[in-house]
Chain A
């Protein structure tokens, strides 16, 4: 049909403005969908921070607090678990393995985690991904340390480098365990989890650096050398938290209840998955903010389109008078302008989706390696399709504004050509 062809030619005649409008819409849609992708990716990565662990046990506290200090190394344990309680749990028939965690020291801003070598086999993230050594091996000597990828990258550590652990958690510490330096025995591959930002040592090492310490300071007059400490009994007396793996998941709730009701010591057992969901609920506000911002960007792009069409309207009054004179109804002119808005929006949506997938393919390896954020490349899900359809409709409705104005102008102008 000639009228439609002419409408497209009219648009082509204004190709620069039209192209910029389409690009603005496309970029806004890429942003909207990209934010959504990153959001779901982040949520997934977050939920995948720890897997394979059935229960996390710590001193009695809230689930989120326990999760924060045991998995995310944020905050502190309210209290410790005695070694006897730990052994009690380990000896229960449902329990397949336990990994004790001992926190409280730091190394140049990174947390130091005292644990056992089992940590490296039982800690899993992103479903069934285990910890892999980029270099070196787990700690075998008392003063061996295994550092996460971020620690190694930030501080430039190689296997064999000496490190000094500080007491407490500040990046700059005035109380250093400098009499008992450690040696980097291994460096872990990047995981995108807090493991990357952790220095791992053995439980005995945590005991060793604290033998001549009491209440956060050196006991005056008592000084034990590194050689002497190797001769001492370094079996741990308490830990901060315990990761527990079960033989059968069916026993999870039974054991959780048993631990929560443990008589000898007030303990809490949490399900990591449930606690992660609960924690994500807290960060949800930021999610909403991101979403609101990207919706605003789309609205701005559509407004830009309306502005573009409106500004051309005056110079196109001539075009409309010609169409009216050859018999076009005002309704036809309304339709043409709405179709124009529709075509621009659809082109923007199409280009936006193309841009999104191009960006995903280009950036995915980088994002995965740098932020540990795994972004799946999948065809648009139904909710995304709904969003896109909604935007397309919104574009047409936005087109109603200039279309109605043109309708009114064409009624007023009639056949008179105004320039």
Chain B
């Protein structure tokens, strides 16, 4: 990891660089995705737009190292994750990614704090960063407060009773804890109404820039475009298809 960090400083330009990537889901009539060349500069806010079925989930799974392409390189923070073993990719994801889903982000039976602290179990470096100023629990409370979750809910016994908006804030705190370099948000606001959407994004943006992280947000809602540094249409960087290898 020391090597990776050194390398990262050497080529600060890109957090993500993909070249010659080909991926086909197993099975007949399978969905395939190809990315010939793509790079993403650090500390930016990116909006990734694509209609449903365009391969957004596959694209994100590739970046996060959940799936590995059949061919090609995916360079994240100076590490080619396609060269890593599956379990090493899982560890890499734990250390460097914070992920927010569209809905159902939380383990409903766990406490709010436990939900926020969950990634630290898999990421020793993030745990170290989260505990530099005290206990990890305190850092979780700080993030939740910054993200606008009411204090009495922060210490609440269960995440199950929270509203969708509150759940998304907890999910954002989980993604941000321990300051991972990349935050991936898969349509995090689609279940919120317009006002809440704006408020959520405001808080998320503040925290992401405080942490100096890169935000990749996926949406099909182009009205959000103005708030991002860059808007990327998936179809301009990736070719998707159905029905075996090309």
Contact = CB atoms under 8 A, between A and B. Distances in A.
Interface of A: 1-3, 5-6, 9-10, 12-13, 318-319, 321-331, 414-417, 419
The 5 closest A-B pairs by CB, nearest first: A327-B94, A327-B122, A13-B109, A414-B66, A326-B119
B99 A415 contact: yes
A320 to B, nearest CB: 10
B159 to A, nearest CB: 10
Given A327-B123, A416-B61, A6 B110 contact: yes
Contacts of B93: 325, 327
B57 A326 contact: no
B99 A329 contact: no
Interface in B83-127: 86-87, 90-91, 93-95, 99, 101-110, 114, 117-123
23 contacts: A1-B121, A2-B118, A3-B118, A5-B114, A6-B107, A6-B110, A9-B109, A9-B114, A325-B66, A325-B93, A325-B101, A326-B118, A327-B91, A327-B94, A327-B122, A328-B90, A329-B87, A329-B90, A329-B91, A330-B90, A415-B57, A415-B66, A415-B101
A13 B64 contact: no
A322 B87 contact: no
A327 B124 CA distance: 11
B204 interface: no
Contacts of A5: 110, 114
Given A2-B118, A325-B99, A415-B57, A10 B107 contact: yes
Contact of B61 (A323, A329, A415, A419): A415
Interface of B: 57, 60-61, 64, 66-67, 86-87, 90-91, 93-95, 99, 101-110, 114, 117-123, 174, 186
Contacts, number: 85
A328 B107 contact: no
B109 A10 contact: yes
Given A9-B110, A13-B108, A326 B66 contact: no
Contacts of B61: 414-416
Nearest to B119: A326
Contacts of A419: 104
B117 A327 contact: no
B117 to A, nearest CB: 6
| Interface-centre pick from A12, A322, A328 (highest chain B CB count, 10 A) | A322
Contacts of B94: 326-328
Given A414-B66, A415-B66, A327 B95 contact: yes
Contact of B66 (A1, A318, A324, A417): A324
Contacts of A2: 114, 117-118, 120-121
Given A9-B114, A329-B91, 7 more contacts: A2-B120, A322-B118, A324-B66, A326-B174, A327-B119, A414-B67, A415-B66
Nearest to A5: B114
Contacts of A1: 121
A171 to B, nearest CB: 65
B234 to A, nearest CB: 16
| Interface-centre pick from A2, A10, A12, A416 (highest chain B CB count, 10 A) | A2
A417 B95 contact: no
A326 B122 contact: yes
Contact of B122 (A13, A318, A328, A416): A328
A324 B73 CA distance: 22
A87 B114 CA distance: 90
B116 to A, nearest CB: 10
Contacts of B106: 322
Contacts of A417: 101-104
Contacts of A414: 57, 61, 66-67
B127 to A, nearest CB: 11
Contacts of B102: 417
Contact of B87 (A9, A319, A331): A331
B130 to A, nearest CB: 13
Nearest to B126: A327
Contacts of B108: 13
Contact of B64 (A318, A319, A323, A325): A325
A322 B57 CA distance: 14
A6 B122 contact: no
Given A6-B114, A415-B99, A419-B104, A329 B109 contact: no
